[in-house]
Homo-oligomer: A and B are copies of this chain.
């Protein structure tokens, strides 16, 4: 049995003696007997570190690590500089709590302030929070922050990632906002439908860009439609795309959200990732979650603190703008390290290469009989249609240790490329598919 309790049995006895108890069980005596567990827990006995690690390695081996991946659909395998893990493994950063005590937390606070600056810059917005759980909850929180007494309805495009839409709906089951889905038309948001149905009750319009199918939306126009109706405009974006694509701000968005995972976090079976939220200054005090601000100490020395806490649950309780408390701080740190390692050139390169490789692959796949369905320009994801059953296509790749695109249905596959996919890999995958 492993144990992390330092005090020996003798020391425990000595401590009990000092405070006048005979046994530890005496400290539990006031707990009613009928709620106590009888006969101990029915879980296995503890193990030594050697056994635990062996067991965990055995379990991990039951998963298949694909050296080549062409699947995205919400989780993207980009290159993660060695520095990222190095930094987030530093114990002072990794094991600290939320930085309530600013005097001994300047390192963490500064890292969040830097993260906020980078995310605001990347999205073209004025302010950023310190992260929420992931891209889906960021979208759901964004919907909530746009609503007010008069506007209790949100339009969400059908072309957002399906689980993001689901999460928005779940959150709205809670906060009782109304969601209307803007239908898809030719793989993008049906703007005509939106124009027709939007009204003064609408709090916001939310789209994803590039959308779930990788396509670029007519993001400018959608924003104009939203604003004409007095609604806010929320864009969910892939942060890597912002190395090349217009910022949400340039398209006219009021709030930008998304999943920060592509910026230095491993795909890790879905988490931990992080959600980012940035917005225009006028909405600053509606932004949920932690925010770090610059200030001075009593001696006039510059420093950082958690701020705007009046919005938060530990002060406002049921009047808080959100219930978020723990966020994804260490992931935000990872993003900060990632963006610093990559710099302007690196992020631009990652965006350009991801897009270029996807286009190269799309062309090659088209040549192999997989028709590309996207009617608009696309970023680093695209959909193919083929008569060969998706399952068969993907199995052929899997047999060669390649994780193919995500099967949308029996005929359609959603492919993704990043800078990690070499031309050689793409050519190999396509040549396999020519044989299927």
Residue of B50, B79, B82, B89 near A419 (CB, 8 A) is B50
Q: Nearest chain B CB to A349's CB is how many angstroms away?
A: 10
Q: How many angstroms between the C-alpha atoms of A82 and B51 in the bound complex? A: 12
A118 to chain B, nearest CB (A): 20
Instruction: Decide if the interface of chain A is mainly helix, strand, loop or mixed.
Output: loop
Interface residues of A in 48-87 (CB under 8 A from B): 49-50, 53, 79, 81-82
A72 to chain B, nearest CB (A): 18
Give complex CA distance A79, B79 in Å.
Answer: 32
- Docked Cα-Cα span, A89 to B53, in Å, equals 19
Q: Is A420 interfacial (CB 8 A cutoff)? A: yes
Within the assembled complex, what's the spacing in Å between the Cα atoms of A50 and B342? 12
**CB of A354 to closest CB in B, whole Å:** 13
Residues of chain A at the chain B interface (Cβ within 8 Å): 49-50, 53, 79, 81-82, 89, 419-420
Q: How many Å lie between the Cα of A89 and that of B89 in the bound state?
A: 10
Residues of B close to A53: CB separation below 8 A: 82
Task: Give bound CA distance, A132 to B425, whole Å.
Answer: 47
Residues in chain B near residue A81, CB distance under 8 A = 49
* A49 surroundings in chain B (CB, below 8 A): 79, 81-82
Task: Name which residue of chain B comes closest to A79, CB basis.
Answer: B50
In the bound complex, residues from chain B placing their C-beta under 8 Å from that of A420 are 50
Tell me the minimal C-beta distance from A60 to chain B in angstroms.
13
Q: Which residues of B contact A50 (CB under 8 A)?
A: 79, 419-420
A420 to B81: give the CA distance in the assembly, Å: 34
A264 to chain B, nearest CB (A): 13
Besides A49-B79, A49-B81, A50-B419, 5 new A-B residue pairs in contact (Cβ under 8 A), listed by A number: A49-B82, A50-B79, A50-B420, A53-B82, A89-B89
Q: Complex: how many Å from CA A420 to CA B419?
A: 41
Q: CA of A420 to CA of B53 in the docked complex: distance in angstroms?
A: 12
Contact residues in B for A82 (Cβ distance below 8 Å): 49, 53
- In the A-B complex, the 7 residue pairs with the smallest Cβ-Cβ separation, listed nearest first, are A50-B79, A49-B81, A49-B82, A53-B82, A50-B420, A50-B419, A89-B89
Q: A79: which B residues are within 8 A, CB to CB?
A: 49-50
**Complex: how many Å from CA A53 to CA B79?**
10
